[in-house]
């Protein structure tokens, strides 16, 4: 009996009692007709050793003809049958007469299922090769342009749908708007307050370390206030909402797309953009400025706690300095900015949802893309705002 040394990869293969065994008996001499009798079991687990046993058989023995006696073969699975058929094909190629003998009904049955042509048939599509450098650059540029174009055309659709809904307010789905306001607004409050409080405190603390050396510790309050009201409040909020809600919008619409629910809406006469995107975008437009104010408040509160308890500033002077340095202009500009961010976050989320084609993987890709794209656009818009506001004043 052939002793096998297959190193088990899995729990099953490690189980020694389950490793099947086979034996090959040989009658005949080199160059003459040869009779091989195979007994035992040939299956996935001992396929390799069976193959190696028969390797170079034709070069070694140079048989005039081969008879394969399968009388002793207890069991052969389809992989084992494949090995037998391969052996036969090899003989056929070398034009050596070959025949099976005593194959049981079951073994014949398994072999009959294997189509030798299927094994040699060329693949209908060759494996994809990685494209060359120039193709890659060109393809990327094309995709970027296509993406830009799609975003613009979706923005057009969205603005049109928004305008339509504002002209015909009864077509608005107020229930949905309230639902999304709760989801991306109310439910975001705990995490937003944590984030803002922490950010405010860290800014105050880190800036204090530097300002102390210049003896300008009282400037901590204006620094926190200006940074938060002009930049951090809107930015922090938009990033958070993009991560929480923009991605959720993309995943929701994407899954609806996969399940043909979007097509169902279209056939029922609903405009998918108006039906699905408008409530989300409107809810975000309402909620994001409020969240921004909330975030600003908690950032300043964080700075206040650090200023009063760690830096020995008085509560009065901290509040006083904050009030003196925050202008209404800055606050309003920031709130307008946050409205724009709301459109970007919700719009890109919805657009990416509508872009989903195929299945589960596409939903994942587009959800990621929704967050990445909206963050990118937010940063660009934030820069634009900074420049424009600088010249307006």
Partner 1 sequence: MVAEKRFPNQGEKPVIVVDRLTAGYGENIILEDVQLEVYPGEILVIVGGSGCGKSTLMKQMIGLNLPFSGKVLVNGINVHTEDETERGKLRREIGVAFQAGALFGSMTLGENVALPLQEYTNLPEDEINRIVRMKLGMVNLAGYENYLPDELSGGMQKRAGLARAMALDPMVLFFDEPSAGLDPVTAVELDILIKSINAGMEITMVVITHELQSIFNIAHRVIMLDKEARGVIAAGDPRYLKEQAQDPRVHNFFNRLPARLKERNF
**Residues binding partner 1 (CB under 8 A):** 6-13, 15, 18, 43-45, 47-48, 51, 77-79, 82, 106, 109-110, 112-115, 117-119, 121-128, 358-362
**Cβ atoms of 76 and 38 closer than 8 Å:** no
* HEC per residue, 274-312: HHHHHHHHHHHHHHHHHHHHHHHHHHHHHHHHHHHHCCC
Nearer of residues 119 and 159 to partner 1, judged by Cβ:
119
Q: Is 282 exposed, middle or buried (0-12, 13-18, 19+ CB in 10 A)?
A: buried
Nearer of residues 299 and 366 to partner 1, judged by Cβ:
366
Task: In whole angstroms, give the CA distance from residue 237 to residue 289.
Answer: 9
Output the smallest distance, CB 362 to partner 1, in A.
8
Nearer of residues 79 and 178 to partner 1, judged by Cβ:
79
Nearer of residues 72 and 359 to partner 1, judged by Cβ:
359
**Cβ atoms of 100 and 68 closer than 8 Å:** yes
Q: Residue 333 to residues 41, 228, 231, 326, 339: CA-CA distances in angstroms?
A: 80, 13, 10, 12, 10
Distant-in-sequence, close-in-space partners of 315: CB < 8 Å, separation ≥ 6 = 304, 308
Output the smallest distance, CB 42 to partner 1, in A.
11
Nearer of residues 10 and 56 to partner 1, judged by Cβ:
10
Nearer of residues 124 and 168 to partner 1, judged by Cβ:
124
Output the smallest distance, CB 255 to partner 1, in A.
13
Task: In whole angstroms, give the CA distance from residue 71 to residue 106.
Answer: 12
Output the smallest distance, CB 347 to partner 1, in A.
27
Residue 336 token pair:
């307008």
Distant-in-sequence, close-in-space partners of 202: CB < 8 Å, separation ≥ 6 = 302
Residue 170 token pair:
């009864």
Nearer of residues 2 and 187 to partner 1, judged by Cβ:
2
- What DSSP character marks residue 26? E
Output the smallest distance, CB 201 to partner 1, in A.
43
**Cβ atoms of 331 and 314 closer than 8 Å:** no
Output the smallest distance, CB 111 to partner 1, in A.
8
Nearer of residues 117 and 312 to partner 1, judged by Cβ:
117
Task: In whole angstroms, give the CA distance from residue 215 to residue 379.
Answer: 34
Nearer of residues 31 and 109 to partner 1, judged by Cβ:
109
Block residue for tokens 């789905």:
173
Output the smallest distance, CB 48 to partner 1, in A.
6
Output the smallest distance, CB 369 to partner 1, in A.
16
For helices 174-184 and 278-309, the axis angle rounded to 10 degrees is: 30
Count CB atoms within 10 A of the CB of residue 274: 20
Task: In whole angstroms, give the CA distance from residue 387 to residue 244.
Answer: 29
Output the smallest distance, CB 263 to partner 1, in A.
16
Task: In whole angstroms, give the CA distance from residue 272 to residue 237.
Answer: 28
Count CB atoms within 10 A of the CB of residue 227: 18
């Amino acid at each position: 009996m052939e002793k096998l040394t297959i190193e088990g990869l899995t729990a099953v293969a490690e189980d020694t009692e389950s490793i099947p065994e086979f034996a090959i008996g040989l009658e005949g001499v080199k160059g003459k007709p040869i009779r091989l009798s195979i007994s035992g079991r040939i299956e996935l687990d001992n396929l390799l050793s069976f193959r190696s046993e028969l390797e170079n058989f034709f070069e070694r023995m140079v048989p005039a003809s081969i008879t394969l006696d399968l009388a002793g073969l207890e069991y052969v699975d389809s992989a084992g049958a494949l090995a037998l058929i391969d052996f036969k094909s090899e003989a056929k190629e070398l034009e050596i007469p070959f025949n099976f003998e005593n194959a049981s009904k079951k073994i014949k049955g398994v072999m009959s299922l294997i189509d030798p042509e299927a094994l040699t048939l060329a693949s209908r599509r060759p494996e994809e090769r990685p494209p060359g450098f120039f193709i890659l650059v060109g393809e990327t540029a094309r995709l970027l342009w296509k993406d830009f174009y799609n975003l613009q055309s979706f923005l057009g659709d969205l603005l049109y749908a928004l305008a339509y809904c504002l002209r015909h307010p009864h077509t608005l789905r107020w229930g949905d708007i309230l639902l999304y306001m709760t989801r991306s607004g109310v439910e975001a409050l705990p995490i937003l307050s944590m984030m803002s409080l922490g950010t405010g405190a860290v800014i105050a603390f880190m800036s204090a370390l530097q300002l102390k050396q210049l003896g300008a510790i009282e400037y901590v309050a204006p620094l926190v206030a200006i940074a938060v009201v002009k930049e951090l409040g809107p930015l922090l909020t938009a990033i958070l909402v993009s991560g929480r809600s923009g991605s959720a919008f993309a995943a929701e619409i994407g899954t609806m797309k996969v399940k043909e629910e979007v097509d169902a809406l279209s056939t029922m006469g609903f405009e998918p953009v108006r039906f699905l995107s408008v409530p989300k975008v409107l809810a975000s437009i309402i909620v994001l400025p409020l969240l921004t104010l909330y975030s600003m408040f908690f950032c300043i509160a964080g700075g206040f706690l650090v200023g009063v308890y760690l830096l020995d500033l008085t509560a009065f002077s901290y509040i006083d300095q904050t009030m003196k340095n925050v202008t209404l202009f800055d606050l309003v500009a920031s709130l307008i900015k946050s409205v724009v961010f709301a459109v970007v976050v919700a719009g890109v989320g919805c657009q990416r949802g509508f872009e989903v084609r195929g299945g589960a993987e596409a939903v994942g890709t587009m959800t990621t893309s929704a967050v990445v794209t909206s963050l990118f656009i937010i940063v660009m818009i934030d820069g634009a705002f900074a420049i424009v506001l600088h010249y307006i004043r």
